[in-house]
Structure 1
Amino acid sequence: MKTDASSTLPPVAPPPPPEVPQTAQPAIPLIPATAARPSLADEFVTAAPTQGFNLARDLALFAHVRAEGGRRVVAIFVASTVVTIANMFGQVELNDWNGRFFDAVGRKDLSGFVHDLWTFLIIIAVLLALTVANTFLQERLKFRLREWITRHLLVEWLKPLRVYQLSFAGEYGHNPDQRIQEDTRLLGDYSADLGCGIVYSLLQIIAFVGVLWALSAQVTFQVAGFDIAIPGYMVWCALAYASIGSALTWLVGRPLIALNGERYAREAEFRFALVRVNESGESIALHGGEKDEQRHLEAALAAVVDTMRRISSSLAHLTWITSGTGWLSLVVPILVAAPAYFGGSLTLGGLIMVAGAFTQVQGAMRWFVDNFSRLADWRAAVHRVARFREALDNLPAIEEGAEEIKRALHPDGHLAFEGVRILLPDGHIIIDDATVSITPGERVLIVGDTGRGKSTLFRAVAGLWPWGSGTILTPPPGTMAFLPQRPYLPLGTLRNALSYPSPADAFPEADVRKALERCDLGSLIAKLDQTERWDQELSLGEQERLAFARLLLHKPGWVFLDEATAALDEDSQRRVMRLFDDELKQTTVMSIGHRPDLAVYHTRTLQLVHGLDGDRLKLKPPPVPPPPRRWLQRLDDWLMTIR
């Protein structure tokens, strides 16, 4: 809760009406929709997460954050607390000034009136400086806290294989981009605001409860001619008023926690659907699928609107409590102290001091009431980030109850499958008992019908697919390169995409140009330092040739190709595959493909043959290259010499 100069003024003038509680900006999926009536939104109702809200468990996960910046966050929070303590001393002094000032007004003491005005200016100047300092520190705390948590999540998310395996982690592994970007922003903003706010309120209670308790001695009641004073009378009144408001707020506003979480889920799905349409614009246009996409997006929007409708109803119910207690707080302190004032035991200045201290204590005690909707948003953001963090920690648990493929380095630097059985996560066998050895210098092609598990075998070699049994012995990881069906081109310049994962300046300019020319991409040399979405600017065939140019720069000892030439015509395929006869002739190749003409570029062909318990790898004799291909190859050799 931020403090400003207006919060320190005496309650003689009505403050602005209490704000209607606001909800946070959308973040990411949390809990399933609870609407019972069927609607378009039902299309986007997902399965419920297995774990509910448990604040202690969620916060415990953040106790182990070790990212850079943690000490800076603590230092800023401590500095903000120190400034808040100084602010409390100023608030107490301002409350004492209220009594002196209005007593001077009541006595019509002009000199005292003028003196107190000068004192007021000094107090306000100090409080203003403290408020500005506290605002500055709170804003810095927001982005430093977000930076600290985001850095930690990025480090954990980008550990080897986690990005891929997170997709198997269920509900809490979905949409990591939104969890890292949006949820951490919400968590940082709300944690800073609410954390500093509750510290301010606690210090406010500590500072003014004693003052109010002492002033309560001046509040006496006339009963049968006797003056009766209730120890701490005003304190108990403030506590009772705040307790009633907090209890009613909790009872009425509790559904907001779940509803805000549900809204995050629906917002995330809507955003994902929009991004998906934007990324697939060409395919949608070619199929004429705009109407179908519109129906799909309207269903996602309907889910968002349906959730927001229920949130608006809950907020309206909550406003009865928050606004009602806010308006009543204008007169409650005067009412509870009025008997003493009209009985003559309190002066006007004493009434103002008692009412001011009561307002401070009661306002601090009703912090929960004023911030409940924000607490609901904060609670949802904590849950989202904590569950994502937990999903990252528990990735090894994906294999619990299932066999796991063992991996080790081959003592001679070969690639060997020893009784490898590859399973789906549900235990279904797709490849059974693969036993084969590939020695350096070999060119091995693996063929088989579509859907028989060739790409899964490719992932198992890379270490992405753990489900199965047996052992895969591999050459050193630094000697292997993998080309998937669709090449990956990172954001940035074309030079960066060509050098990936090495830095953009890792290779000499001459080598970069030669690699592009060798793969028939010479027209791209002039664009090397341009920043574009190269995965959209280049055709799929150009992207595949760029991947081979990348191989020319890195010169790996082992290359694994998964349909890496599927988008190339026969002539372009021959040119890139001939790299393994020339510049990359020391490279061992294992290819996966469907095209029959790939066999001529390999020394051995293995075929996945259907069996009772899954497919098996069997040796297939390589075909003899037909004469026309040899003439084409000689012609191509001659053209290369005169180029």
Structure 2
Amino acid sequence: MIENVFRPGTTRPEAKGNGSIAKPPLRTPVSAMVSFWGLMRAYWFSDKWKEAWSLTLVVAFLTALSSKAGVWFAEASGELINSIAYFHSSTSDAPLATLLGHAAFLVALVVFKDAGITGTKSFVSATLHRRWRGWLNGRFNDALLDANHTHFHAQNGADTAPDNIDQRVQESIKGMTGGAIGLAMGVMAVASSIFFVGQKLLETSTEIRGFEFLGEYGSVVFALLAVAAYVPANTWIAVKLGGMLERLSIRMQKAEGSYRGELSTLLRRSFHVASAHGEAVQRNMHERLYTEIDRTWGRLNWVNAGYGSFERIYNFVGARVIAYAPGLLPFIHGRIDLKGYITGAELVNSLISQCSWFIHVMPAIATLRANSRRVIDLAQAIEGVQDPVEFYRRTGECDFRYITQNPVFGLSIQNLRLSHQGRDSEPFLICERLGFRRGEWTFLRGESGCGKTSLIKALNRLWPYGRGTIAFPQGVASFYAAQEVKLPPVTLKELVCLPEAQDNHNDATVAAALYKAGLGEFIGHLGDEARAGKSWDQLLSGGQKQKLVLARIVLHQPGLLFLDEATGALDPESKIAFYQTIRDNCPGVTVISVMHESAPPRSAAGEEFYHSVLTIADGMATKEPLTPALPAELTEILTQQPPILADGWLGLARRRLKTARSN
């Protein structure tokens, strides 16, 4: 026996030595994203760092240029106002031409700033948004869809399972990346604005009467004090309101995700709802889920409305009072003229506007934090399930050993106990010692809910709780065919080749597998993802989907095959053809099959497909061989002979036939 130990849910072996399991480092594509700053900087320190930094530097340059253009705008505004004020002055030689010239320059500057700089910056920042989001989407897809079955374990963690993974990967990542880029652009704009505007304020600063000790820096000190007193106090108010917005945004996302998830589930089970006339129940469920959305939305509207009113009042006071106050004393005392006063006021207004960016985007920041929290939670959940054994041990017993042994011994089970979540959960299924030799077909039967499917899942490393040892034949490929078949929107050839890539098999081999499975009419559509506007999942019936699974089995020819109600949608003749195809094309395969039938099916010639029966009753699994069937000719003779012939070997044959029928 080879002591290769496997973790549940993976096919990757771990070497066992010195009585312990060597654990690989828990590194995933999202390992660096389990904190806010780790999530924010991951893209810029990844293999795409050149792309990320190039786009970022272009955005930074355009942001700085826009801030400098803001200074030019303030100066141009001062010139225009001054030309209007002195339009009738005798010192003005050509007042109309001067006014129109300043107006034209101001318009050209606005076009250059808003259409040229801002438009280009929007395009580059949108490109950065698209690239960053695409990179994050790829990392989370790689992390969820790995060989460890992370997507499966992450959703089976009970209390730790993240809700609405689809929403987190799509909407939350999209909103987070867009919000983060906007935040970064705002910070860069504030820094560059303070530099350029502050520089200009210093150049135009003048002495203020009564405050001569400040010297020529009097007006700039007054301006900075006004900004420092006004902006932080209101920012504190904005932070408090933003916290309320963040909490409500997270609650809104959860409510929206639950409602959308239920709608998606309805579309998958639409037939069952219609056949059971369950529309009223489904409608009540939707109304109950939407009630939470409506209630949260109402509270969010109140906070948003209050924040909007606060922001409008803040903007008015800042632009019309605070911005014009610092330069009023120098203007009254004749230290500066009207042009200097207007220019200074516009500069202070620009400074207030840039420093108030945090206030203006607080709702967006609240949404950013809500989105990032959703993404971080998913990254943490992915990290938490990289060692499934330790993960499941937090909420119950998980002590499975998956080992390999010489193929001649087949598949073996020793001391297997399956239980549910909870450390005190009693086993609902016990398998003391079972063996399935190479080429043996075993029929698994038992009442509904007895644990048949759970046993199949445990054998495939997909049951989380319990203990026991399962020894697989070394080097033998396995295949698990479930009752419900879901087909992804890919080509027919890819569907048949799953789980391998389509390039591993030529068209002729795939076509032959389809033909043997009874789907020969589709051979000419191997390269099609759909027919008549419908995907294969929509086009194929339940029985045809199960035949498609049969085509996969024929193509891959596994040595170990698990059939969990894999023929439930087939008629009796098709079921027989299903098993006969496996018998003819997969020599030496070991089959463990779950069916609702009381007795295993036989071939068209009356021969047994199955060699043994595994019965689950009262929480115990017991295995015994099937009674060998008598030849069909002998059975016919015995049923036609009169009772007086029931002597000697013929009487013995009759008694065996009676025993076989009763079993």
TM-score, normalised to structure 1's length? Answer: 0.81
Change (3 A) 1:94 1:478: farther
Match of 1:132 in 2: 119
Match status 1:108 vs 2:92? yes
1:425 corresponds, among 421, 426, 433, to 421
For 1:572 and 1:597, locate their aligned partners in 2 and report how far apart those are by CA, in whole Å.
17
Match of 2:647 in 1: none
Question: Equivalences for 1:31-430 in 2 at 5 Å?
Answer: 57-61=35-39, 63=41, 69-100=48-79, 102-103=81-82, 106=86, 108=92, 110=94, 127=113, 128-160=115-147, 161-169=149-157, 170=159, 172-220=161-209, 229=218, 232-332=221-321, 333-395=323-385, 396=387, 397-401=390-394, 402-412=397-407, 414-427=410-423, 428=425, 429-430=427-428
Q: Identity across aligned pairs (percent)?
A: 20
Q: CA deviation at 1:405?
A: 0.8
Match of 1:577 in 2: 579
Change (3 A) 1:631 1:136: farther
**One-letter amino acid of the structure 2 residue matched with residue 388 of structure 1:** L
Change (3 A) 1:123 1:63: closer
Change (3 A) 1:56 1:480: closer
Q: CA deviation at 1:480?
A: 1.2
SS in structure 2 opposite 1:335?
coil
Is the 8 Å Cα contact of residues 213 and 232 (structure 1) preserved in structure 2?
Answer: no
For 1:71 and 1:630, locate their aligned partners in 2 and report how far apart those are by CA, in whole Å.
81
Match of 1:616 in 2: 620
Match of 1:30 in 2: none
**One-letter amino acid of the structure 1 residue matched with residue 487 of structure 2:** L
Give structure 1 stretches of 5+ with no counterpart: 1-54, 633-643
**One-letter amino acid of the structure 1 residue matched with residue 405 of structure 2:** H
Q: CA deviation at 1:101?
A: 5.3
Match of 1:605 in 2: 613
**One-letter amino acid of the structure 1 residue matched with residue 621 of structure 2:** L
Change (3 A) 1:176 1:207: same
Change (3 A) 1:222 1:565: closer
For 2:482 and 2:633, locate their aligned partners in 1 and report how far apart those are by CA, in whole Å.
27
Q: CA deviation at 1:527?
A: 4.6
Q: CA deviation at 1:460?
A: 1.7
Is the 8 Å Cα contact of residues 220 and 228 (structure 1) preserved in structure 2?
Answer: no
For 2:317 and 2:404, locate their aligned partners in 1 and report how far apart those are by CA, in whole Å.
74
Q: CA deviation at 1:262?
A: 0.7
SS in structure 2 opposite 1:596?
coil
Change (3 A) 1:565 1:56: closer
Change (3 A) 1:588 1:217: same
Match of 1:451 in 2: 449
For 1:537 and 1:477, locate their aligned partners in 2 and report how far apart those are by CA, in whole Å.
37
Is the 8 Å Cα contact of residues 557 and 587 (structure 1) preserved in structure 2?
Answer: yes
Change (3 A) 1:469 1:159: same
Match of 1:474 in 2: 472
Q: CA deviation at 1:100?
A: 5.0
Is the 8 Å Cα contact of residues 447 and 607 (structure 1) preserved in structure 2?
Answer: yes
Q: CA deviation at 1:83?
A: 2.2
For 1:97 and 1:430, locate their aligned partners in 2 and report how far apart those are by CA, in whole Å.
82
Change (3 A) 1:607 1:63: farther
SS in structure 2 opposite 1:418?
strand
**One-letter amino acid of the structure 2 residue matched with residue 164 of structure 1:** F
For 1:383 and 1:227, locate their aligned partners in 2 and report how far apart those are by CA, in whole Å.
49
Q: CA deviation at 1:62?
A: 5.2
Is the 8 Å Cα contact of residues 59 and 121 (structure 2) preserved in structure 1?
Answer: yes
Match status 1:497 vs 2:495? yes
Change (3 A) 1:284 1:190: same
Is the 8 Å Cα contact of residues 34 and 376 (structure 2) preserved in structure 1?
Answer: no
TM-score, normalised to structure 2's length? Answer: 0.79
Is the 8 Å Cα contact of residues 244 and 303 (structure 2) preserved in structure 1?
Answer: yes
Is the 8 Å Cα contact of residues 34 and 380 (structure 2) preserved in structure 1?
Answer: no
Q: CA deviation at 1:104?
A: 5.4
**One-letter amino acid of the structure 2 residue matched with residue 389 of structure 1:** A
Match of 2:657 in 1: none
Is the 8 Å Cα contact of residues 431 and 622 (structure 2) preserved in structure 1?
Answer: no
Change (3 A) 1:309 1:562: same
For 1:626 and 1:176, locate their aligned partners in 2 and report how far apart those are by CA, in whole Å.
56
Which of structures 1 and 2 has the bigger CA Rg? Answer: 2
User: What's the Cα RMSD here?
Assistant: 3.1
Q: CA deviation at 1:335?
A: 3.4
Q: CA deviation at 1:530?
A: 4.8
Change (3 A) 1:67 1:435: farther
Is the 8 Å Cα contact of residues 61 and 386 (structure 1) preserved in structure 2?
Answer: yes
Match of 2:656 in 1: none
Change (3 A) 1:189 1:228: closer
Is the 8 Å Cα contact of residues 220 and 227 (structure 1) preserved in structure 2?
Answer: no
For 1:206 and 1:56, locate their aligned partners in 2 and report how far apart those are by CA, in whole Å.
35
Q: CA deviation at 1:264?
A: 0.6
